[in-house]
Structure 1
Amino acid sequence: MTNAPLRVLVVDDDEEDFLILRDLLADYPQGRFEMSWVGTLEEGIRALRAGAHDVYLVDYHLGPDNGMDLVRLAVAEHHTHRPVIMLTGHGSADVDSEALAAGASDYLVKGKIDAEKLARSLRYAAERARQMQQIEDGKRRYQLLFELNPFPTWVYDIHSLQIVAVNDAMVSTYGWSRAELQSMSVLDLREPAEGERLKAYLAEWGERSGSAGVWRHRHRDGRPLWMDISTHSVELDGQRCRMVIAHDITAQRETQGKLLLLERAVESSMNGIIIADAQSADMPVIYVNPAFEELTGYPADEVLGRNCRFLQGGHSNQPELEILRRALREASDCNVILRNYRRDGGEFWNHLFISPVRDESGVVTHFVGIQNDLTERRQVEAELAYAANHDPVTGLPRYPILETALASLLEREGAEVSLLFIDIDRFHAVNESMGHVIGDEALRIIAARLSEVLGGPGYLSRFAGDEFVAVVPGGSREAVLEVAGQLRGAVSRPIEGDGWSLFLTASIGIARSPEHGDSGNELLRRAEAAMTRAKRLGRDEACEFSAAQMQELEDRLVLGARLREAAGRGELQLHYQPQLDAR
């Protein structure tokens, strides 16, 4: 009780009774009272609803009305914190019982009330009402906290495991309606296996309160819900219950699962993966995966904290490095092929993919690099390119390579270039009599000798079969004829193998630019014609293309064209002329 006076309203149709009660309390030395009076039930009801008094003394008989109606109204309109004490002129056990059953705080008989008894009844009624109000306020606050808790919260009976109360957050999270949840047990929130685990856990848990760990629940649609559970014992309407507060960590759990999967994928990747800090000076490496360590030979502790440029060794002027540097400056994707070095100094070709990683505000925080070792592929590509452009038997470049070099020489103004067409005489007999294995060996030896005469294989190619083409830049007619003689001499030297010997010769045709043509095709055709003439002269000869041969070739071309035209017009007739007398 506070020191404030207790406000008392007397509802009695006899004002004299009010005055008697007021005088009794006025002479009472303990406590102070403010007394007010109304004479009808209607006025008493208005005063009750206004709530301006702490205790109401109501006469049982209010003229035509019954004061008990005021008691019932206080209960019906939830004004139980405004206590009503019944007054009657004659004591009656029935009235007493009726008053207390209706909700009255006390029952007093006029004429039998002294100051002490009245004051005590008023104080007790007010104090009890205050305590009841505190309990109701506590329940209301508790209910408000329960309902407005952002975490799913429910209460279940400790014996039956039946859910008896749920909040809005639980309805929203689990998908069932409030009525459906309150018809379920806590076991229904789980899969059967989890339900059995819960029973065992509760048997061991007992009356303890606090964190109960993470549990797998289920949504109404069947998907899993991962809940971090806290629980404590409560009493609800006389029942021993347990309150559960659940923190939904499903999204966090899924994120952790994805991160774990990503980590495993990165760790098991066959490609080297490297992450650099874009916010720190010089972009130090903060992570490398095992494939990076295997690829480069560097353990992680020797890489972390360094800029990955150390892999370039001394080759910091590679053209594609500028592409990489620009991508880092502009925070863009790029892929480049770099020459890098392993820890043991071994070289490898690194196909590097770089991508920026941005935070939620778009700021680049890291760069991720993915490394792919192209060394083996580069070697295969080089081997394929070599095989495509070189003769597999002699190792000489194929004619298209030599043709490109020839075209480059012919582009120079006033260039003097000689083309030599070399045919090994009667070489088909070697293949037919001794086999292609010996024939190929002989060609390899001949190619090496011809290259030696020419000063290297740069101006020599294998044209086809036993034919070679050589290019001699510059030089006079006499100097070229001398080279042709040296080539013939190189071929004519004995070729000896394991139990076999060969003696070969070569026929060589020569065409010179610009007098015999100014294109590679013209020189090739005329050098081949000159070689054919050398064959007709008895082989083992070197012949230069002549004006007579040029006229002969032109005549053949004209004659061939005219014959085709004549055949098309039907101008040819076939006649038989016997060469001997069959009789």
Structure 2
Amino acid sequence: EKELIKSEEKYRLLFANNPQPMWIYDLETLAFLEVNQAAINHYGYSQEEFLSMTLKDIRPAEDIRALMDDIEKTKNNMNSAGEWRHLKKNGEIIDVEIKSHSVNFNNRNARHILINDITERKIAIEALELANNELENLHNNLNYAIFSVDTVQNKMLIASSAHEQVFGYPPSMFFQNPQLWYELVIPEDRPIADAGYPVLFAGKDLMHELRIAHPSGQLRWIEARMKPKLDGNGKLVRVDGIVTDITGRKIAEQELKKLSHAIEQSPVSVFITDLNGNMEYVNPKTLKISGYTKEELIGKNPRIFSSGEKPKEEYEQLWSTI
């Protein structure tokens, strides 16, 4: 009997001095039977107030039905846990995680509850999720795919939804097959991709332009920028990067080259001036007809062709071909 008394006293001390809020409630009436000092401090009710209340008094009104359903479900369980909302005396609603187990308290069926306030944790998680969603939306609105690959396990860690916009395949397929991007590179450009591996293994940043076979049947250009991550032993463990669809830029560059070639080979005189009217480009035909060198014309005004420095016939021929 002495041992029993000693054990009960030890339990009461652990209960009373526990830094986490704790209480015991009656399973039938839901009345508080005992509360510790941490619960009194955290919730703002005095011990007398707690002992005159039931569980319903610390729950928001809209949560009462869920509370009663849960009590019915867990009444016969020795142990249970879950997340709930509690109401402090000052009206503040907090998120809590509870753990409970059945006890016999003064010959009454009761439950012993341990409370962990997770309000700040949930706020932090929600803020992080919001920030991640905003970042993801930003990345999706930009025309580039973000990726991160575990090179040790050959596992895709991150594949933004913009992969579908760039490659034509959803991110899920890149998670299933991290080598899908390489398989899409046309055979002629794979040596370029292969040459990049030693660069990454050496811990150096890499940028290259490749052509891929898009599922639409189009040939598309991509620009891949990659940053390697080495461990303490200098081993490549991860590659992070972005991939951009540069097809439009490449088409424009090709058209510009064609136009430049056409101007260079043009049978008529062509020159281009800046906003001040000074020449910044002259084609070979202009040089041939005018007799000037390129160095003599760049930066000069086209009036030089009427300066009288050359025979009149040359100027007439030049102006007739411009």
Task: Report the TM range for the smaller structure's normalisation.
Answer: 0.5 to 0.7
Superposed CA offset, 1:46-87 (max 9, x none) = xxxxxxxxxxxxxxxxxxxxxxxxxxxxxxxxxxxxxxxxxx
Q: Is the 8 A contact 2:59 2:85 kept in 1?
A: yes
Specify the alignment match of 2:291 in structure 1.
512
Give the Cα–Cα distance (whole angstroms) in 2 for the partners of residues 533 and 277 of structure 1: 73
Please give the secondary structure, in 2, of the residue aligned with 1:329.
coil
Superposed CA offset, 1:281-325 (max 9, x none) = 7x6534434431342134644662438555654447879x97x94
The offset of 1:140, in angstroms, is 0.8
The offset of 1:519, in angstroms, is 1.4
The offset of 1:329, in angstroms, is 1.3
| Residue pairs, 1:180-195, within 5 angstroms | 181-182=50-51, 184-195=53-64
Q: 1:352 to 1:151 in 2, by over 3 A?
A: farther
2:166 to 295, 300, 304: 295
Q: Is the 8 A contact 1:146 1:153 kept in 2?
A: yes
Q: 1:352 to 1:188 in 2, by over 3 A?
A: farther
| Residue pairs, 1:105-184, within 5 angstroms | 131=1, 133-147=2-16, 149=18, 151-171=20-40, 174-176=42-44, 179=47, 181-182=50-51, 184=53
Q: 1:148 to 1:379 in 2, by over 3 A?
A: farther
Q: Is the 8 A contact 1:175 1:221 kept in 2?
A: no
Structure number with greater Rg is: 1
Q: 1:297 to 1:265 in 2, by over 3 A?
A: same
Q: Is the 8 A contact 2:102 2:111 kept in 1?
A: yes
Superposed CA offset, 1:166-196 (max 9, x none) = 2355456x45365364554322332111123
The offset of 1:376, in angstroms, is 3.2
The offset of 1:241, in angstroms, is 3.5
Please give the secondary structure, in 1, of the residue aligned with 2:92.
coil
Specify the alignment match of 1:471 in structure 2.
287
Give the Cα–Cα distance (whole angstroms) in 1 for the partners of residues 57 and 318 of structure 2: 105
Give the Cα–Cα distance (whole angstroms) in 1 for the partners of residues 167 and 239 of structure 2: 19
The offset of 1:221, in angstroms, is 6.8
2:150 to 277, 280, 286: 277
Specify the alignment match of 2:306 in structure 1.
528
1:329 to 203, 215, 218: 203
Give the Cα–Cα distance (whole angstroms) in 2 for the partners of residues 209 and 258 of structure 1: 36
Give the Cα–Cα distance (whole angstroms) in 2 for the partners of residues 358 and 535 of structure 1: 67
Q: Is the 8 A contact 2:272 2:281 kept in 1?
A: no
Specify the alignment match of 1:338 in structure 2.
209
Please give the secondary structure, in 1, of the residue aligned with 2:102.
strand
Q: 1:134 to 1:272 in 2, by over 3 A?
A: same
Q: Is the 8 A contact 1:163 1:181 kept in 2?
A: yes
Specify the alignment match of 1:569 in structure 2.
none
Give the Cα–Cα distance (whole angstroms) in 1 for the partners of residues 230 and 12 of structure 2: 45
Please give the secondary structure, in 2, of the residue aligned with 1:399.
strand
Give the Cα–Cα distance (whole angstroms) in 1 for the partners of residues 35 and 256 of structure 2: 74
The offset of 1:253, in angstroms, is 5.1
Q: Does 1:371 align with 2:274?
A: no
| Residue pairs, 1:401-480, within 5 angstroms | 459-460=284-285, 470-472=286-288
Q: 1:232 to 1:385 in 2, by over 3 A?
A: farther
The offset of 1:327, in angstroms, is 10
Specify the alignment match of 2:105 in structure 1.
235
| Higher relative contact order (CA closer than 8 Å, sequence separation 6+) | 2
Query: What is the TM-score with the length of structure 1 in the denominator?
Result: 0.39
Q: 1:542 to 1:140 in 2, by over 3 A?
A: closer
Specify the alignment match of 2:179 in structure 1.
306
Specify the alignment match of 1:84 in structure 2.
none
Query: What is the TM-score with the length of structure 2 in the denominator?
Result: 0.62
Give the Cα–Cα distance (whole angstroms) in 2 for the partners of residues 255 and 358 of structure 1: 31
Letter of the 1:136 partner, please give it.
Answer: I
Please give the secondary structure, in 1, of the residue aligned with 2:83.
strand
The offset of 1:245, in angstroms, is 2.8
| Residue pairs, 1:43-62, within 5 angstroms | none
The offset of 1:358, in angstroms, is 11
Q: Structure 2 unaligned runs (5+)?
A: none
Q: Does 1:244 align with 2:117?
A: no
The offset of 1:137, in angstroms, is 0.8
Q: Is the 8 A contact 2:20 2:115 kept in 1?
A: yes
Give the Cα–Cα distance (whole angstroms) in 1 for the partners of residues 134 and 295 of structure 2: 66
Please give the secondary structure, in 2, of the residue aligned with 1:519.
helix
Specify the alignment match of 1:28 in structure 2.
none
Please give the root-mean-square deviation of Cα atoms over the aligned residues, in Å. Answer: 5.4
Give the Cα–Cα distance (whole angstroms) in 2 for the partners of residues 205 and 146 of structure 1: 23
| Residue pairs, 1:490-501, within 5 angstroms | none
Give the Cα–Cα distance (whole angstroms) in 2 for the partners of residues 240 and 177 of structure 1: 24
Q: Structure 1 unaligned runs (5+)?
A: 1-130, 407-457, 461-469, 473-509, 544-583
Give the Cα–Cα distance (whole angstroms) in 2 for the partners of residues 207 and 196 of structure 1: 19
Give the Cα–Cα distance (whole angstroms) in 1 for the partners of residues 202 and 17 of structure 2: 50
Give the Cα–Cα distance (whole angstroms) in 2 for the partners of residues 163 and 541 of structure 1: 105
Superposed CA offset, 1:466-492 (max 9, x none) = xxxx222xxxxxxxxxxxxxxxxxxxx
Give the Cα–Cα distance (whole angstroms) in 1 for the partners of residues 301 and 76 of structure 2: 107
Give the Cα–Cα distance (whole angstroms) in 2 for the partners of residues 216 and 191 of structure 1: 7
Letter of the 1:375 partner, please give it.
Answer: T
Superposed CA offset, 1:359-394 (max 9, x none) = 9xxx99644434343433565688799999x99xx9
Letter of the 2:177 partner, please give it.
Answer: L
